[in-house]
Chain A
């Protein structure tokens, strides 16, 4: 697999095309962030002791309003068009499921294996798909080990709140839990929406929501989310990442409703136990699936490539330009 390891992003406004001065480029993200201590201090305001009796139900973390705000945010990351947006794909539901992983007897962290029931077994006599399907093992989550559980509890609740998880906190600072990050940040999204437009985020038009999103992501330092000191990423980074997970991870994790995420991308998703090549005893060799070929172009691209959008072109060209700064030959 070719590793497309990109230079670490320098946070902040757009960089010029001209190579930045070498010292800035050589800074790792973490080192760079150390310079942002003042901003971080602003974000470090502790959660007040709000008690939410209404959020106690199993598998529920957000209030109705918080959930609606989160779903609206997810929909700005992957908006609906002729394909579903992140809200319809269940991304917010995925995020709440992640944050409440420990509400379940077996925490919902690692889905089971080896197979879902989305594909049949191969028939190795003649190299075709059989009619037999496996039972869905993805539904049966795998109990984490002691240290895996400690790790995920720290991820959700914070390293200071989990016994045995604070072993590097004296040096690195505590790991803030995702639950606190979401609760605090959603409040701040609303605060910003009210300051800009006088209304809660969910009551804004999509274009207004985009403007709030952009301000919180890349606005002035006093307004935008600062990177979390230990994680090195902002709330928007986490939101985007988790939204993508909610759209494109296996549906057993709570998102990717009706496999709409995979269908939108034109990829097959998990495809065991069938796969793409089936060994045939009759032929003494492999048979490929004509609709999903392995050694030849996709059926719709035999004559000519399918054009890509300017957005995709721009991603490709930006990657090339960025790597060119480092390897100018």
Chain B
């Protein structure tokens, strides 16, 4: 993380002067793209806006250890790699009629070499087969089922669309993604998983105690529903020595933290490193892209602000956006065409269809300590509440009070706090908890006793459902007219309102989720539902983000084509979560990687490499 001297902010081949591709972003999308393109003989430049926690990542003699550590202060409080709300604020409003205000909760993700995936506990489920054709499947189901009303489809229509390819088309790239990033999992464990052509590269690691309790709770038949099907959670975390990286030691500070021993298969230590070692890739970090120089249909250069604060310009034959949905769309918004239009926006939908996962949290307090500080954050979950049939090929039809219904929720993670006494415990007892009923463990022995007992940190456990968020044109990112970031650029403004589609699923599954937590051993009066972000008047707190540059076959209704190329810009591609037409109900990163593989293999004319 050297500073000020521009030469210091480079990894890879410093001598490269001419680039076939310039990739904006070095995370799951950009790192993957750099790997495929460099391996195919292309000269690649990667621009990363954040700093480099991986000094020596380009060292051919071996993968060095990173600057990541088990340090709550550094990550959860001082934002070592997380986007900082002072430097780069974002604004939020619940609908377009309101004024937007600065909101530090708007999808703050890590901004550093290796991207946002390094902060995650690296959960990597695939989407279901039906997700890629949800719109047509639902339309057919509605036509065939008298009385079936589905919010988002035949009631209050949202902007659902089929993906421009199928699960079968993507499956070989899922396999390649799992092998490149090193995914642990157990084939056949999840009844709802769609067909796999290859087993997981590694078996699951050690289960966490509270996760076993919740899995047992989920196996007990629920009234009017039956038993559920808990499964081990696929994750890009080594459970064996794999790809020159060690097995995970379950150190606990996983979600929200970079991995100190490189056992998490994050983009930096997998694809990005491979790209850097080809000699055909140069990575410039602390390089904030701020404009694509264009003539309306072609991009000739990218401008960025370097680590010293100086504006630079770089040319390439083609450009790939992989800065995550908000920032990839923002870069287009910051790049007007000569005619004054937004680059790539002939569909009028650029920046729209912004999706977060609709998270539902049902938690309980377990009498025994859950010791969530030991483990890799999430080891188990259930996929029953995605609302599909086993195998994930079809939508599940329910009958509620004699009426046909569908409820497409999402995968549920079994979780507990990770042992963060300052930000998870102390801050809640002493600061976040209002002086409600005259009580808050503000100071003194009440605070000390609550901390020692781990009232929250050692006893909270429960389920987080990552439910599908309906795509809506009115949920969008544009440029805020008032606020600036440290680079002097207008900040992204998020306009977002949930749809009845996801709220209906939430209300259907909440009672079942509560029953699971009770069955797992939480006393009935110690189980509770966390209010939604909207109930709290807050911005979406989900860190899963999709849409804004959706892909499709019709240039009138999509921004990018099936190959990730902008319909109306001949050398501009998007290669991150922004191209997702729908959000499904599974953690998105493995699909981001698989889609990036599919897009870039097609560009390079190469086939997926699977062992």
Interface residues of chain A, those whose CB is within 8 Å of chain B, are 1-17, 25-28, 30-31, 76-79, 81, 83, 109-116, 122, 124, 137-138, 142-151, 154-155, 164-165, 167-168, 171-172, 175, 210, 213, 217-218, 233, 237, 240-241, 244-245, 248-250, 253, 261-262, 264-279, 286, 288, 292-298, 301, 305-306, 308-309, 311-316, 318-324, 326-327, 329
CB-nearest residue of chain A to B94: A26
* Contact residue among B67, B248, B261, B309 (Cβ-Cβ distance under 8 Å from A146): B309
Q: Is B503 located at the chain interface by the 8 A CB criterion?
A: no
Q: How far is the CA of A329 from the CA of B514 in the complex (A)?
A: 11
* Contact residue among A1, A244, A278 (Cβ-Cβ distance under 8 Å from B255): A1
Scoring B residues 436 to 452 as 1 if CB is less than 8 Å from chain A, else 0, what string do you get?
Answer: 11111111111111111
Q: Which of B126-134, B296-304, B363-371 contacts A (4 or more CB under 8 A)?
A: B363-371
Q: Which residues of A contact B418 (CB under 8 A)?
A: 1
Q: Which of B24-32, B135-143, B218-226, B530-538 contacts A (4 or more CB under 8 A)?
A: B530-538
Q: Which residues of B contact A146 (CB under 8 A)?
A: 3-4, 286, 307-309
A272 touches B249 (CB 8 A): yes
* Contact residue among A79, A218, A320 (Cβ-Cβ distance under 8 Å from B435): A218
B456 touches A4 (CB 8 A): yes
Q: Which residues of A contact B369 (CB under 8 A)?
A: 297-298, 301, 305-306
A319 touches B415 (CB 8 A): no
Q: Which residues of A contact B413 (CB under 8 A)?
A: 1-2
Q: How far is the CA of A85 from the CA of B427 in the complex (A)?
A: 18
Q: Do A315 and B456 form a contact, CB below 8 Å, given A145-B286, A240-B431, A241-B427? A: yes
B250 touches A277 (CB 8 A): yes
Interface residues of chain B, those whose CB is within 8 Å of chain A, are 1-4, 51, 53, 65-74, 77-78, 80, 84, 86-87, 89, 101-103, 121, 205-209, 212, 239-241, 246-253, 255-256, 260-261, 286, 307-309, 359, 361, 363, 365, 367-369, 371-375, 377-378, 413, 415-419, 421-422, 424, 426-464, 482-486, 488, 510-511, 525-526, 528-533, 535-538, 541
A262 to chain B, nearest CB (A): 8
Q: Do A315 and B450 form a contact, CB below 8 Å, given A7-B536, A28-B101, A278-B249? A: yes
B484 touches A25 (CB 8 A): no
User: Known contacts A144-B1, A266-B452, A293-B374; can you find 6 more A-B pairs with CB under 8 A?
Assistant: A2-B462, A11-B434, A115-B69, A146-B4, A245-B77, A279-B247
B531 touches A316 (CB 8 A): no
CB-nearest residue of chain B to A113: B69
B361 touches A3 (CB 8 A): yes
Q: How far is the CA of A174 from the CA of B431 in the complex (A)?
A: 23
Q: How far is the CA of A156 from the CA of B134 in the complex (A)?
A: 52
* Contact residue among A15, A31, A271, A275 (Cβ-Cβ distance under 8 Å from B436): A15
Q: Which residues of B contact A264 (CB under 8 A)?
A: 451-452
B80 to chain A, nearest CB (A): 5
CB-based closest 9 A-B pairs = A275-B249, A326-B531, A113-B69, A270-B70, A9-B434, A114-B260, A312-B453, A14-B438, A312-B455
B361 to chain A, nearest CB (A): 5
Q: How far is the CA of A261 from the CA of B421 in the complex (A)?
A: 10
* Contact residue among A2, A122, A168, A321 (Cβ-Cβ distance under 8 Å from B460): A2
A9 touches B433 (CB 8 A): yes
A308 touches B459 (CB 8 A): yes
Q: How far is the CA of A273 from the CA of B66 in the complex (A)?
A: 13
B422 touches A245 (CB 8 A): yes
B449 to chain A, nearest CB (A): 4
* Contact residue among A278, A326, A329 (Cβ-Cβ distance under 8 Å from B536): A326
Q: Which residues of B contact A319 (CB under 8 A)?
A: 428, 433, 456, 528
* Contact residue among B374, B416, B484 (Cβ-Cβ distance under 8 Å from A167): B484
30 A-B contacts (beta carbon < 8 Å): A1-B372, A2-B415, A2-B416, A2-B462, A6-B433, A6-B530, A7-B531, A9-B431, A78-B451, A112-B67, A113-B53, A113-B68, A144-B1, A151-B86, A217-B442, A249-B71, A268-B419, A271-B251, A272-B260, A273-B249, A276-B252, A278-B249, A279-B241, A279-B247, A292-B371, A294-B371, A301-B368, A311-B447, A312-B450, A329-B511
